[in-house]
A and B are shown apart, each in its own frame.
Chain A
Protein backbone atom coordinates (compact mmCIF):
# COMPACT_ATOMS: atom_id res chain seq x y z
CA UNK A 1 0.00 0.00 0.00
CA UNK A 2 2.80 2.35 1.01
CA UNK A 3 4.67 1.45 -2.14
CA UNK A 4 1.65 2.25 -4.31
CA UNK A 5 1.32 5.58 -2.59
CA UNK A 6 4.99 6.34 -3.25
CA UNK A 7 4.62 5.33 -6.88
CA UNK A 8 1.52 7.50 -7.25
CA UNK A 9 3.35 10.43 -5.67
CA UNK A 10 6.29 9.83 -7.95
CA UNK A 11 4.03 9.81 -11.00
CA UNK A 12 2.30 13.03 -9.94
CA UNK A 13 5.59 14.77 -9.23
CA UNK A 14 6.99 13.51 -12.50
CA UNK A 15 4.02 14.61 -14.55
CA UNK A 16 3.90 18.10 -13.18
CA UNK A 17 7.38 18.60 -14.53
CA UNK A 18 6.72 17.45 -18.08
CA UNK A 19 8.86 20.05 -19.80
CA UNK A 20 11.94 20.64 -21.88
CA UNK A 21 14.34 19.88 -19.00
CA UNK A 22 13.36 16.19 -19.35
CA UNK A 23 15.41 16.25 -22.55
CA UNK A 24 18.52 17.98 -21.26
CA UNK A 25 20.67 15.17 -22.64
CA UNK A 26 19.42 15.72 -26.18
CA UNK A 27 21.15 18.11 -28.52
CA UNK A 28 18.43 19.42 -30.82
CA UNK A 29 20.92 20.88 -33.26
CA UNK A 30 20.59 18.04 -35.75
CA UNK A 31 16.78 18.34 -35.72
CA UNK A 32 17.01 22.10 -36.19
CA UNK A 33 19.40 21.81 -39.12
CA UNK A 34 17.12 19.28 -40.83
CA UNK A 35 14.22 21.73 -40.41
CA UNK A 36 16.39 24.43 -41.96
CA UNK A 37 17.35 22.19 -44.88
CA UNK A 38 13.64 21.68 -45.68
CA UNK A 39 13.04 25.42 -45.93
CA UNK A 40 11.74 25.38 -49.48
CA UNK A 41 9.35 22.48 -49.03
CA UNK A 42 5.67 23.15 -49.60
CA UNK A 43 2.60 21.76 -47.89
CA UNK A 44 1.29 19.90 -50.94
CA UNK A 45 2.69 16.58 -49.80
CA UNK A 46 2.58 16.33 -46.01
CA UNK A 47 3.58 12.63 -45.81
CA UNK A 48 6.76 13.30 -47.75
CA UNK A 49 7.55 16.45 -45.79
CA UNK A 50 7.09 14.60 -42.53
CA UNK A 51 9.30 11.78 -43.77
CA UNK A 52 12.04 14.18 -44.84
CA UNK A 53 11.95 15.96 -41.50
CA UNK A 54 12.06 12.88 -39.30
CA UNK A 55 13.50 9.81 -41.04
CA UNK A 56 17.11 10.57 -40.07
CA UNK A 57 16.41 11.25 -36.40
CA UNK A 58 16.61 8.68 -33.61
CA UNK A 59 14.29 9.89 -30.85
CA UNK A 60 10.66 11.02 -30.78
CA UNK A 61 11.69 14.26 -29.06
CA UNK A 62 14.05 15.11 -31.94
CA UNK A 63 11.45 14.12 -34.55
CA UNK A 64 8.89 16.39 -32.92
CA UNK A 65 11.47 19.16 -32.64
CA UNK A 66 12.29 19.04 -36.38
CA UNK A 67 8.59 19.27 -37.28
CA UNK A 68 7.93 22.01 -34.70
CA UNK A 69 10.91 24.04 -35.87
CA UNK A 70 9.83 23.70 -39.50
CA UNK A 71 6.33 24.91 -38.64
CA UNK A 72 7.62 27.85 -36.58
CA UNK A 73 10.05 29.02 -39.25
CA UNK A 74 8.03 28.33 -42.42
CA UNK A 75 4.44 29.18 -41.64
CA UNK A 76 3.63 32.89 -41.42
CA UNK A 77 0.74 34.63 -39.81
CA UNK A 78 -2.04 36.18 -41.81
CA UNK A 79 -3.00 39.29 -39.90
CA UNK A 80 -5.86 40.24 -42.24
CA UNK A 81 -7.43 36.85 -41.94
CA UNK A 82 -6.94 36.90 -38.18
CA UNK A 83 -8.74 40.18 -37.62
CA UNK A 84 -11.53 39.30 -40.06
CA UNK A 85 -12.10 36.01 -38.29
CA UNK A 86 -12.11 37.59 -34.83
CA UNK A 87 -14.62 40.25 -35.88
CA UNK A 88 -17.01 37.72 -37.40
CA UNK A 89 -16.71 35.35 -34.47
CA UNK A 90 -17.52 38.17 -32.08
CA UNK A 91 -20.48 39.22 -34.25
CA UNK A 92 -21.96 35.72 -34.43
CA UNK A 93 -21.08 34.81 -30.86
CA UNK A 94 -24.66 34.27 -29.77
CA UNK A 95 -25.81 32.78 -33.08
CA UNK A 96 -24.34 29.29 -33.29
CA UNK A 97 -25.85 28.62 -36.71
CA UNK A 98 -24.28 31.64 -38.35
CA UNK A 99 -21.02 30.95 -36.54
CA UNK A 100 -21.05 27.44 -37.99
CA UNK A 101 -21.62 28.77 -41.52
CA UNK A 102 -18.82 31.29 -41.07
CA UNK A 103 -16.47 28.67 -39.68
CA UNK A 104 -17.13 26.32 -42.62
CA UNK A 105 -16.48 29.12 -45.09
CA UNK A 106 -13.28 30.33 -43.47
CA UNK A 107 -11.98 26.77 -43.03
CA UNK A 108 -11.89 26.35 -46.81
CA UNK A 109 -10.28 29.76 -47.20
CA UNK A 110 -7.69 28.95 -44.57
CA UNK A 111 -6.62 25.65 -46.09
CA UNK A 112 -6.42 27.24 -49.54
CA UNK A 113 -4.17 30.04 -48.26
CA UNK A 114 -2.11 27.66 -46.19
CA UNK A 115 -1.43 25.45 -49.20
CA UNK A 116 -0.69 28.32 -51.53
CA UNK A 117 1.20 30.82 -49.38
CA UNK A 118 1.98 28.90 -46.18
CA UNK A 119 0.10 31.71 -44.41
CA UNK A 120 -2.39 31.11 -41.64
CA UNK A 121 -3.66 31.90 -38.14
CA UNK A 122 -2.99 29.88 -35.02
CA UNK A 123 -5.28 26.95 -35.67
CA UNK A 124 -3.36 26.55 -38.94
CA UNK A 125 -0.04 26.29 -37.10
CA UNK A 126 -1.48 23.80 -34.63
CA UNK A 127 -3.14 21.82 -37.41
CA UNK A 128 0.05 21.43 -39.50
CA UNK A 129 2.06 20.52 -36.41
CA UNK A 130 -0.47 17.83 -35.54
CA UNK A 131 -0.73 16.42 -39.07
CA UNK A 132 3.04 16.25 -39.64
CA UNK A 133 3.54 14.68 -36.20
CA UNK A 134 0.82 12.08 -36.72
CA UNK A 135 2.42 11.13 -40.03
CA UNK A 136 5.62 10.32 -38.16
CA UNK A 137 3.67 8.21 -35.65
CA UNK A 138 3.81 10.86 -32.93
CA UNK A 139 0.74 11.36 -30.80
CA UNK A 140 -0.07 15.06 -31.12
CA UNK A 141 -3.31 16.95 -30.46
CA UNK A 142 -4.68 20.41 -31.16
CA UNK A 143 -5.79 22.10 -27.94
CA UNK A 144 -8.36 24.88 -28.22
CA UNK A 145 -8.80 27.38 -25.46
CA UNK A 146 -8.25 30.88 -24.17
CA UNK A 147 -5.05 32.81 -24.71
CA UNK A 148 -4.55 35.94 -22.61
CA UNK A 149 -2.42 38.71 -24.04
CA UNK A 150 -2.14 42.42 -23.36
CA UNK A 151 -4.06 43.31 -26.52
CA UNK A 152 -6.95 40.80 -26.44
CA UNK A 153 -8.69 42.70 -23.67
CA UNK A 154 -7.52 40.29 -20.97
CA UNK A 155 -10.32 41.12 -18.55
CA UNK A 156 -13.08 40.12 -20.92
CA UNK A 157 -12.36 36.84 -22.65
CA UNK A 158 -15.77 35.46 -23.41
CA UNK A 159 -14.98 32.87 -26.08
CA UNK A 160 -12.06 30.59 -26.91
CA UNK A 161 -9.59 32.50 -29.09
CA UNK A 162 -6.44 30.43 -29.41
CA UNK A 163 -5.12 26.99 -30.36
CA UNK A 164 -1.92 25.20 -29.38
CA UNK A 165 -0.61 21.62 -29.15
CA UNK A 166 0.01 18.76 -26.77
CA UNK A 167 2.40 15.97 -27.76
CA UNK A 168 3.11 12.60 -26.17
CA UNK A 169 6.81 11.77 -25.86
CA UNK A 170 8.07 8.69 -24.02
CA UNK A 171 4.62 8.19 -22.49
CA UNK A 172 4.28 11.75 -21.13
CA UNK A 173 2.31 14.68 -22.49
CA UNK A 174 3.93 18.07 -23.15
CA UNK A 175 2.64 21.50 -24.20
CA UNK A 176 3.91 23.68 -27.02
CA UNK A 177 2.63 26.81 -28.73
CA UNK A 178 3.99 27.11 -32.27
CA UNK A 179 2.06 30.32 -33.03
CA UNK A 180 3.36 32.35 -30.13
CA UNK A 181 6.84 30.84 -30.50
CA UNK A 182 7.19 32.25 -33.97
CA UNK A 183 6.64 35.90 -33.45
CA UNK A 184 4.48 38.69 -32.23
CA UNK A 185 2.28 41.46 -33.38
CA UNK A 186 4.09 44.65 -34.11
CA UNK A 187 1.99 47.32 -32.35
CA UNK A 188 2.87 49.96 -34.92
CA UNK A 189 2.50 48.25 -38.27
CA UNK A 190 0.00 45.67 -36.95
CA UNK A 191 2.13 43.17 -38.85
CA UNK A 192 3.61 40.09 -37.46
CA UNK A 193 7.32 40.11 -36.85
CA UNK A 194 9.28 36.88 -36.89
CA UNK A 195 11.12 36.35 -33.65
CA UNK A 196 11.55 32.81 -32.40
CA UNK A 197 11.00 32.33 -28.67
CA UNK A 198 12.34 28.99 -27.57
CA UNK A 199 10.48 28.78 -24.25
CA UNK A 200 7.22 27.76 -25.95
CA UNK A 201 8.71 24.37 -26.90
CA UNK A 202 7.72 21.76 -24.27
CA UNK A 203 6.92 24.59 -21.86
CA UNK A 204 6.47 24.29 -18.12
CA UNK A 205 2.72 23.59 -17.71
CA UNK A 206 2.58 25.87 -14.64
CA UNK A 207 3.88 28.88 -16.56
CA UNK A 208 1.84 27.92 -19.61
CA UNK A 209 -1.37 27.88 -17.53
CA UNK A 210 -0.95 31.58 -16.74
CA UNK A 211 -1.78 32.63 -20.30
CA UNK A 212 -3.26 29.44 -21.82
CA UNK A 213 -6.50 27.91 -20.56
CA UNK A 214 -7.80 24.85 -22.44
CA UNK A 215 -11.53 24.30 -22.98
CA UNK A 216 -10.99 20.86 -21.48
CA UNK A 217 -9.20 21.43 -18.18
CA UNK A 218 -7.28 18.14 -18.33
CA UNK A 219 -5.06 19.67 -21.01
CA UNK A 220 -3.48 22.01 -18.47
CA UNK A 221 -1.56 18.77 -17.71
CA UNK A 222 -1.65 19.82 -14.07
CA UNK A 223 -3.09 17.76 -11.24
CA UNK A 224 -6.44 18.94 -9.90
CA UNK A 225 -4.87 20.72 -6.92
CA UNK A 226 -2.34 22.50 -9.14
CA UNK A 227 -4.55 23.52 -12.07
CA UNK A 228 -6.00 27.01 -11.71
CA UNK A 229 -9.73 27.54 -11.93
CA UNK A 230 -10.96 29.53 -14.91
CA UNK A 231 -11.63 32.47 -12.57
CA UNK A 232 -8.08 32.36 -11.25
CA UNK A 233 -6.81 32.25 -14.83
CA UNK A 234 -8.86 35.31 -15.73
CA UNK A 235 -7.52 37.15 -12.70
CA UNK A 236 -3.88 36.23 -13.35
CA UNK A 237 -1.31 38.83 -14.41
CA UNK A 238 -0.64 39.36 -18.10
CA UNK A 239 2.59 37.66 -19.07
CA UNK A 240 4.27 38.28 -22.41
CA UNK A 241 6.02 36.04 -24.92
CA UNK A 242 9.37 37.20 -23.56
CA UNK A 243 8.41 35.77 -20.15
CA UNK A 244 9.09 32.38 -21.77
CA UNK A 245 12.61 33.52 -22.54
CA UNK A 246 13.34 34.35 -18.90
CA UNK A 247 11.07 32.37 -16.59
CA UNK A 248 10.06 28.79 -15.95
CA UNK A 249 7.51 29.85 -13.35
CA UNK A 250 5.58 32.90 -12.26
CA UNK A 251 4.63 32.66 -8.56
CA UNK A 252 3.53 36.08 -7.23
CA UNK A 253 1.58 38.32 -7.37
CA UNK A 254 -1.12 35.85 -8.30
CA UNK A 255 -3.44 38.55 -9.56
CA UNK A 256 -3.38 41.14 -12.28
CA UNK A 257 -5.37 43.76 -10.33
CA UNK A 258 -4.35 44.38 -6.75
CA UNK A 259 -5.86 46.60 -4.09
CA UNK A 260 -3.28 47.56 -1.47
CA UNK A 261 -2.61 50.04 1.30
CA UNK A 262 -0.09 52.85 1.29
CA UNK A 263 3.36 51.68 2.57
CA UNK A 264 2.40 48.04 2.02
CA UNK A 265 5.28 45.92 0.76
CA UNK A 266 4.51 43.89 -2.34
CA UNK A 267 6.38 40.66 -3.14
CA UNK A 268 7.15 39.55 -6.69
CA UNK A 269 8.34 35.94 -7.05
CA UNK A 270 9.61 34.04 -10.07
CA UNK A 271 11.61 31.01 -11.08
CA UNK A 272 14.28 31.81 -13.64
CA UNK A 273 15.19 29.96 -16.81
CA UNK A 274 18.76 31.25 -16.83
CA UNK A 275 20.96 33.15 -14.40
CA UNK A 276 20.52 36.93 -14.45
CA UNK A 277 22.22 39.83 -12.73
CA UNK A 278 20.41 42.19 -10.36
CA UNK A 279 21.20 45.14 -12.59
CA UNK A 280 19.01 43.70 -15.35
CA UNK A 281 15.83 43.88 -13.27
CA UNK A 282 13.58 46.91 -13.55
CA UNK A 283 10.01 47.82 -12.72
CA UNK A 284 8.33 50.33 -15.00
CA UNK A 285 5.71 52.15 -12.96
CA UNK A 286 3.08 54.12 -14.82
CA UNK A 287 0.64 56.34 -12.89
CA UNK A 288 -1.29 57.38 -16.00
CA UNK A 289 0.65 60.59 -16.51
CA UNK A 290 4.29 59.71 -16.08
CA UNK A 291 6.17 56.48 -16.06
CA UNK A 292 9.42 55.79 -14.25
CA UNK A 293 11.77 52.86 -14.42
CA UNK A 294 13.14 51.80 -11.05
CA UNK A 295 15.34 49.06 -9.71
CA UNK A 296 13.23 47.21 -7.13
CA UNK A 297 14.31 47.91 -3.57
CA UNK A 298 15.00 44.36 -2.47
CA UNK A 299 16.25 41.72 -4.79
CA UNK A 300 17.28 38.22 -3.92
CA UNK A 301 18.37 35.63 -6.43
CA UNK A 302 18.86 32.23 -4.86
CA UNK A 303 19.15 29.05 -6.87
CA UNK A 304 17.15 30.51 -9.77
CA UNK A 305 14.42 31.79 -7.45
CA UNK A 306 13.98 35.51 -7.86
CA UNK A 307 12.23 37.61 -5.22
CA UNK A 308 11.60 41.34 -5.55
CA UNK A 309 9.91 43.75 -3.20
CA UNK A 310 8.39 47.12 -3.75
CA UNK A 311 6.70 49.59 -1.46
CA UNK A 312 4.20 52.15 -2.76
CA UNK A 313 4.53 55.38 -0.78
CA UNK A 314 1.82 57.37 -2.53
CA UNK A 315 -1.81 56.56 -3.14
CA UNK A 316 -2.97 56.25 -6.73
CA UNK A 317 -3.47 53.79 -9.54
CA UNK A 318 -0.39 52.22 -11.10
CA UNK A 319 0.38 49.93 -14.01
CA UNK A 320 3.54 48.02 -13.09
CA UNK A 321 5.61 46.24 -15.73
CA UNK A 322 8.49 43.88 -14.99
CA UNK A 323 11.47 44.06 -17.31
CA UNK A 324 14.44 41.69 -17.37
CA UNK A 325 17.00 43.37 -19.59
CA UNK A 326 15.02 44.65 -22.57
CA UNK A 327 12.42 41.92 -22.24
CA UNK A 328 8.96 42.87 -21.05
CA UNK A 329 7.93 39.96 -18.83
CA UNK A 330 4.68 40.75 -17.01
CA UNK A 331 2.17 43.42 -16.01
CA UNK A 332 0.14 44.10 -12.83
CA UNK A 333 -2.01 46.97 -11.64
CA UNK A 334 -2.03 48.37 -8.10
CA UNK A 335 -4.65 50.57 -6.59
CA UNK A 336 -3.00 52.14 -3.57
CA UNK A 337 -5.39 53.38 -0.88
CA UNK A 338 -4.40 56.31 1.24
Chain B
Protein backbone atom coordinates (compact mmCIF):
# COMPACT_ATOMS: atom_id res chain seq x y z
CA UNK B 1 0.00 0.00 0.00
CA UNK B 2 2.17 2.65 -1.26
CA UNK B 3 -0.33 5.10 -2.31
CA UNK B 4 -1.80 6.81 0.72
CA UNK B 5 -4.15 9.68 0.67
CA UNK B 6 -2.09 12.73 1.22
CA UNK B 7 -3.42 16.01 2.32
CA UNK B 8 -1.78 18.79 0.55
CA UNK B 9 -0.33 21.20 3.04
CA UNK B 10 -2.30 24.10 1.67
CA UNK B 11 -5.74 22.38 1.75
CA UNK B 12 -5.16 21.27 5.33
CA UNK B 13 -4.75 24.85 6.41
CA UNK B 14 -7.92 25.82 4.55
CA UNK B 15 -9.96 22.96 6.09
CA UNK B 16 -8.74 23.88 9.56
CA UNK B 17 -9.79 27.43 9.07
CA UNK B 18 -13.17 26.28 7.72
CA UNK B 19 -13.75 23.98 10.69
CA UNK B 20 -12.81 26.65 13.16
CA UNK B 21 -15.08 29.02 11.30
CA UNK B 22 -17.93 26.50 11.52
CA UNK B 23 -17.43 26.15 15.27
CA UNK B 24 -17.39 29.86 15.67
CA UNK B 25 -20.51 30.15 13.57
CA UNK B 26 -22.73 28.19 15.90
CA UNK B 27 -22.51 30.44 18.92
CA UNK B 28 -22.92 33.40 16.63
CA UNK B 29 -26.25 32.07 15.37
CA UNK B 30 -27.45 31.32 18.86
CA UNK B 31 -26.52 34.73 19.98
CA UNK B 32 -28.41 36.49 17.25
CA UNK B 33 -31.50 34.56 18.19
CA UNK B 34 -31.28 35.47 21.85
CA UNK B 35 -30.78 39.08 20.98
CA UNK B 36 -33.88 38.97 18.80
CA UNK B 37 -36.13 37.52 21.47
CA UNK B 38 -34.69 39.89 24.04
CA UNK B 39 -35.61 42.93 21.98
CA UNK B 40 -39.13 41.60 21.56
CA UNK B 41 -39.65 41.25 25.32
CA UNK B 42 -38.33 44.73 25.84
CA UNK B 43 -41.01 45.96 23.34
CA UNK B 44 -43.87 44.32 25.23
CA UNK B 45 -45.01 46.98 27.63
CA UNK B 46 -47.22 46.57 30.64
CA UNK B 47 -49.17 49.78 30.92
CA UNK B 48 -50.55 51.09 34.19
CA UNK B 49 -52.17 54.40 34.91
CA UNK B 50 -54.97 56.47 36.37
CA UNK B 51 -58.14 58.01 34.95
CA UNK B 52 -59.69 61.10 36.48
CA UNK B 53 -61.87 64.12 35.71
CA UNK B 54 -61.70 67.64 37.11
CA UNK B 55 -63.11 66.39 40.42
CA UNK B 56 -60.72 63.51 40.96
CA UNK B 57 -60.40 59.78 40.22
CA UNK B 58 -63.04 58.15 38.02
CA UNK B 59 -64.39 54.76 38.98
CA UNK B 60 -65.54 52.56 36.11
CA UNK B 61 -63.95 54.32 33.16
CA UNK B 62 -63.25 51.83 30.37
CA UNK B 63 -59.81 51.41 28.87
CA UNK B 64 -59.75 49.43 25.65
CA UNK B 65 -57.28 48.52 22.97
CA UNK B 66 -58.51 50.18 19.77
CA UNK B 67 -60.23 47.81 17.33
CA UNK B 68 -59.89 44.91 19.73
CA UNK B 69 -61.99 43.44 22.50
CA UNK B 70 -59.28 43.51 25.16
CA UNK B 71 -59.96 46.03 27.86
CA UNK B 72 -60.36 46.85 31.52
CA UNK B 73 -62.05 49.37 33.82
CA UNK B 74 -60.56 51.73 36.38
CA UNK B 75 -61.01 51.03 40.12
CA UNK B 76 -62.21 53.41 42.84
CA UNK B 77 -58.83 55.18 42.80
CA UNK B 78 -59.12 55.61 39.07
CA UNK B 79 -56.23 53.14 38.72
CA UNK B 80 -55.86 50.41 36.11
CA UNK B 81 -53.35 47.87 34.81
CA UNK B 82 -53.92 46.99 31.19
CA UNK B 83 -54.44 43.18 31.02
CA UNK B 84 -52.42 42.69 27.83
CA UNK B 85 -48.80 43.63 27.13
CA UNK B 86 -48.75 46.39 24.54
CA UNK B 87 -46.43 47.39 21.73
CA UNK B 88 -45.36 50.86 20.66
CA UNK B 89 -47.97 52.15 18.20
CA UNK B 90 -50.94 50.46 19.93
CA UNK B 91 -53.77 52.86 20.77
CA UNK B 92 -55.70 52.82 24.03
CA UNK B 93 -59.21 54.31 24.09
CA UNK B 94 -60.35 55.87 27.36
CA UNK B 95 -64.08 56.34 27.66
CA UNK B 96 -66.82 56.99 30.14
CA UNK B 97 -70.41 57.83 29.35
CA UNK B 98 -70.78 61.61 29.38
CA UNK B 99 -67.10 62.32 28.88
CA UNK B 100 -65.17 63.03 25.74
CA UNK B 101 -63.36 59.96 24.56
CA UNK B 102 -59.59 60.10 24.59
CA UNK B 103 -57.12 58.06 22.53
CA UNK B 104 -53.53 57.56 23.65
CA UNK B 105 -50.82 56.08 21.41
CA UNK B 106 -48.32 53.85 23.23
CA UNK B 107 -44.69 54.98 22.84
CA UNK B 108 -41.53 52.94 23.41
CA UNK B 109 -41.12 54.33 26.90
CA UNK B 110 -44.80 54.42 27.97
CA UNK B 111 -45.37 52.58 31.25
CA UNK B 112 -47.64 54.90 33.22
CA UNK B 113 -50.53 56.97 31.82
CA UNK B 114 -52.29 59.75 33.64
CA UNK B 115 -55.47 60.49 31.74
CA UNK B 116 -57.88 63.30 32.49
CA UNK B 117 -61.28 63.04 30.79
CA UNK B 118 -63.31 66.11 30.04
CA UNK B 119 -67.06 66.35 30.40
CA UNK B 120 -68.88 66.16 27.09
CA UNK B 121 -70.89 69.28 26.43
CA UNK B 122 -74.25 68.21 25.09
CA UNK B 123 -77.34 70.30 24.58
CA UNK B 124 -80.16 68.19 25.98
CA UNK B 125 -83.30 68.19 23.87
CA UNK B 126 -86.19 65.88 23.41
CA UNK B 127 -89.36 65.93 21.37
CA UNK B 128 -91.67 62.97 21.29
CA UNK B 129 -93.22 61.59 18.18
CA UNK B 130 -96.93 61.20 18.59
CA UNK B 131 -99.72 59.56 16.66
CA UNK B 132 -102.29 61.71 18.35
CA UNK B 133 -104.18 63.47 15.57
CA UNK B 134 -103.69 67.20 15.39
CA UNK B 135 -106.76 69.12 16.49
CA UNK B 136 -107.43 72.72 15.56
CA UNK B 137 -108.27 75.11 18.34
CA UNK B 138 -111.65 76.51 17.52
CA UNK B 139 -113.05 79.66 19.00
CA UNK B 140 -116.68 78.57 18.84
Interface size on A, residues (CB 8 A): 64
Q: How far is the CB of A258 from chain B (nearest CB, A)?
A: 12
Report whether B131 and A111 are in contact in the complex, using a CB–CB cutoff of 8 Å: no
B-contact 0/1 string along A18-60, CB 8 Å cutoff: 0000000000000000000000000111111001100100000
Interface status of A107 (Cβ within 8 A of chain B): yes
Q: Is the CB of B128 within 8 A of A43?
A: no
Q: Is the CB of B130 within 8 A of A149?
A: yes
As a 0/1 sequence over residues 41 to 81 of chain B, the CB contacts with chain A under 8 angstroms (1 = contact) are: 00000000000000000001010101111010100000000
* Cβ of B5 under 8 Å from chain A: no
Q: Is the CB of B124 within 8 A of A121?
A: yes
Q: Would you give the shortest CB distance from A158 to chain B, in whole angstroms?
A: 13
Residue of B whose beta carbon sits closest to that of A291: B133
Stretch at the interface among A179-187, A273-281, A294-302: A179-187
Interface core residue of B73, B122, B127, B138 (most chain A CB under 10 Å):
B127
Q: Does B83 contact A (CB under 8 A)?
A: no
**Is A144 engaged at the interface, CB distance under 8 Å to the other chain?**
yes
CA distance A48 to B68 in the complex (A): 8
A176 at the interface (CB under 8 A from B): no
Shortest C-beta distance, A287 to chain B (Å), equals 10
Cβ contacts under 8 Å, A331 to chain B: 133-134
Query: Scoring A residues 137 to 149 as 1 if CB is less than 8 Å from chain B, else 0, what string do you get?
Result: 1000010100101
B5: shortest Cβ distance to chain A, in Å? 70
Q: For residue B107, give the distance in angstroms from its CB to the closest CB of chain A.
A: 21
Chain A residues closer than 8 Å to B130, beta-carbon distance: 149-151, 184-185, 187, 240
Contacts of B68 in A (CB 8 A): 51
Question: Which one of A3-11, A160-168, A228-236, A246-254 is at the B interface?
Answer: A160-168
Q: Is the CB of B97 within 8 A of A115?
A: yes
Contacting pair B101 A333 (CB below 8 A): no
Cβ-defined contact, A163 with B125, below 8 A: yes
Find B132's partner among A77, A187, A192 (CB 8 Å cutoff): A187
Q: B residues within 8 Å of A by Cβ? A: 60, 62, 64, 66-69, 71, 73, 93, 95, 97-98, 101, 119-136, 138, 140
19 A-B interface contacts by CB (under 8 A): A44-B62, A46-B62, A48-B69, A51-B67, A85-B124, A86-B126, A123-B122, A123-B125, A131-B97, A135-B101, A137-B67, A149-B127, A149-B129, A151-B128, A160-B125, A185-B132, A286-B135, A317-B138, A333-B136
